């Protein structure tokens, strides 16, 4: 890159004040996991859905790159170069041929290693925030291409809404559904499950012949989304990684049972777990079921959420 870099203050497109970006958590309405590929990833056939539990990333001008945080995972999550926020800022700066100078602050509500793609969400938020802070002005598709280098779920969290994910999950195309809000209860567990560990466990169960049949195509789920009837959608939810999460964490079976006993239409493990999500009839139903789950002591926290919501956006 031979072009001279101009400091932020000289770039007419750079933001003058702090840039705050809100980014949602994701669940998978259906997560079909294919065989292990040569590159160490599994081929996916999934429907992503962004829900109203948000992290918030604020980017300010700085002379170096720094990250602070508050909320979920504070004191546990490393704030060094291994953090996806730092990696995202560096990836965007490298693409734009400029130094990665920013003071970043993360307010987390999405639990760590929860199967809700919290780390990927923070990477997506960082790309959108730094793009505005630095005035790099990339198109959403360019941001999504950088996002794919950071993690399989990151492109979806730039887009948000409800979307089909293929490849290793990074190839995202929006699902055009009639505007409907779905109401969820999100049961957050103590501790996390590492995503690679969940995939390895599924491979192990499949090798031993003890995994359930793969759930296969997303066609039924896509048809169910068009019907706007939560009972129909509930019947179409599915997750191949659920067996792996239950094998690693058998107590999750009690969480799923408790949600269904409380009147949820269906419950599934979210992504690689251990968070469980329950589809409910409406917002009032979700509130009641969240209260019952909290009282049953089968999770660390039970929250309500609705979806779909937008991806990483300036607040
Ligand atoms: O893409 P990401 O970095 O989020 O993936 C984390 C890990 O999850 C991968 O290293 C891999 O072990 C597993 N994974 C997978 N197949 C996918 C996505 C993730 O095996 N499609």
Query: Tens digit of pLDDT for each residue in 17-29?
Result: 899 999 999 999 9
Q: Fold match between 19-175 and 182-307?
A: no
Nearest atom within ligand 1 for CA of residue 152? 1
| pTM across the whole model | 0.95
> 266-269 and 276-280 as β-strands: parallel, antiparallel, unpaired?
antiparallel
Segment 9-13 mean pLDDT: 67
Give pLDDT, residue 113.
95
Task: Put residue 206 in one of left, alpha, beta given phi > 0 → left and psi -120 to 50 → alpha.
Answer: alpha
Mutate to test the pocket of ligand 1, among 195, 198, 240 (most ligand atoms within 8 A of CB): 195
Ligand 1 site residues (CB inside 6 A) read: 40-42, 44, 151-153, 168-169, 195-196, 199
- Per CATH, the number for 19-175 is 3.30.230.10
Segment 42-55 mean pLDDT: 98
**Catalytic choice (26, 55, 131, 285):** 26
Mutate to test the pocket of ligand 1, among 168, 171, 172 (most ligand atoms within 8 A of CB): 168
Determine which helix (DSSP H) or strand (DSSP E) holds 156, and give its type and residue range. Answer: helix 154-159
Q: CA–CA separation, 163 vs 308, rounded Å?
A: 10
DSSP 201: H
Give pLDDT, residue 177.
72
Give pLDDT, residue 12.
77
Query: Tens digit of pLDDT for each residue in 142-197?
Result: 999 999 999 999 999 999 999 999 999 999 999 987 778 999 999 999 999 999 99
Segment 231-236 mean pLDDT: 98
* Residue 3 predicted with pLDDT over 50: no
Q: Is 108 a catalytic residue?
A: no
Give pLDDT, residue 6.
52
Nearest one of 79, 57, 35, 67 to 157, comparing CA atoms: 57
Nearest one of 238, 282, 244, 240 to 263, comparing CA atoms: 282
**Catalytic choice (8, 122, 153, 240):** 153
* Residue 30 predicted with pLDDT over 90: yes
129 CB contacts (<8 Å, ≥6 apart)? 19, 20, 21, 57, 58, 59, 104, 314
For the chain, the domains span: 19-175, 182-307
> 42-60 and 102-108 as β-strands: parallel, antiparallel, unpaired?
antiparallel
Give pLDDT, residue 178.
73
Query: Tens digit of pLDDT for each residue in 82-132?
Result: 999 999 999 999 999 999 999 999 999 999 999 999 999 999 999 999 999
Give pLDDT, residue 214.
97
Determine which helix (DSSP H) or strand (DSSP E) holds 256, and give its type and residue range. Answer: helix 252-261
Percent of the chain with pLDDT over 90: 92
- pLDDT class for 1, splitting at 50, 70, 90? very low
**Residue 115, annotated ligand binder?**
yes
Domain spanning 182-307, CATH architecture: 2-Layer Sandwich (3.30)
Contact present, 122 and 112 (Cβ < 8 Å):
no
The residue contributing the CA closest to ligand 1 atom 3 is 151
Q: CA–CA separation, 46 vs 48, rounded Å?
A: 6
Nearest one of 224, 228, 255 to 238, comparing CA atoms: 224
Segment 234-246 mean pLDDT: 98
The residue contributing the CA closest to ligand 1 atom 19 is 41
DSSP 160: B
Segment 245-272 mean pLDDT: 98
Mutate to test the pocket of ligand 1, among 28, 44, 199 (most ligand atoms within 8 A of CB): 199
The residue contributing the CA closest to ligand 1 atom 15 is 41
The residue contributing the CA closest to ligand 1 atom 9 is 196
Q: How many CB atoms lie within 10 A of CB 173?
A: 10
Distance (Å) from CA 164 to ligand 1 centroid: 17
Query: Tens digit of pLDDT for each residue in 56-88?
Result: 999 999 999 999 999 999 999 999 999 999 999
Q: Is 131 a catalytic residue?
A: no
User: Residue 228 corresponds to which tokens in the numbers above?
Assistant: 């706007």
Q: Which residue, chain included where needed, has tokens 């049972």?
A: 257
* Residue 2 predicted with pLDDT over 50: no
**Residue 312, annotated ligand binder?**
no
């Amino acid at each position: 890159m031979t072009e001279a870099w101009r400091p932020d203050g000289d770039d007419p497109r750079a933001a003058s004040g702090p840039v705050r970006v809100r980014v949602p958590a994701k669940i998978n309405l259906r997560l079909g996991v294919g065989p292990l590929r040569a590159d160490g990833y599994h081929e996916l056939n999934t429907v992503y859905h962004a829900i109203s539990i948000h992290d918030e990333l604020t980017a300010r001008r700085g002379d170096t790159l720094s990250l602070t945080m508050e909320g979920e995972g504070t004191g546990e999550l490393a704030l060094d170069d291994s953090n996806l926020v730092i990696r995202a800022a560096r990836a965007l700066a490298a693409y734009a041929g400029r130094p990665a100078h920013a003071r970043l602050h993360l307010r987390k509500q999405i639990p760590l290693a929860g199967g809700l793609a919290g780390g990927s969400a923070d990477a997506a938020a960082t790309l959108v925030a730094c793009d505005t802070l630095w005035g790099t002005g990339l198109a959403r598709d360019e941001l999504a291409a950088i996002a794919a280098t950071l993690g399989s779920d990151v492109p979806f969290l730039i887009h948000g809404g409800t979307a089909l994910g293929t490849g290793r999950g990074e190839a995202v195309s929006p699902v055009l559904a009639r505007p409907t809000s779905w109401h969820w209860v999100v049961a957050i567990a103590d501790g996390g499950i590492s995503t690679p560990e969940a995939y390895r466990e599924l491979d192990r169960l499949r090798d031993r012949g003890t995994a359930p049949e793969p759930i296969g195509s997303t066609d039924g789920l896509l048809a169910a989304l068009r019907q706007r009837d939560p009972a129909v959608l509930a019947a179409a939810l599915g997750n191949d990684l659920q067996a792996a999460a239950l094998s690693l964490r058998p107590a999750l079976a009690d969480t799923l049972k408790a949600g269904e006993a409380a009147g949820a239409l269906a419950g599934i493990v979210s992504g690689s777990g251990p968070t469980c999500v329950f589809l409910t009839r409406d917002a009032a139903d979700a509130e009641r079921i969240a209260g019952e789950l909290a009282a049953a002591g089968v999770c660390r926290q039970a929250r309500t959420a609705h979806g779909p919501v937008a991806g990483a956006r300036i607040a």
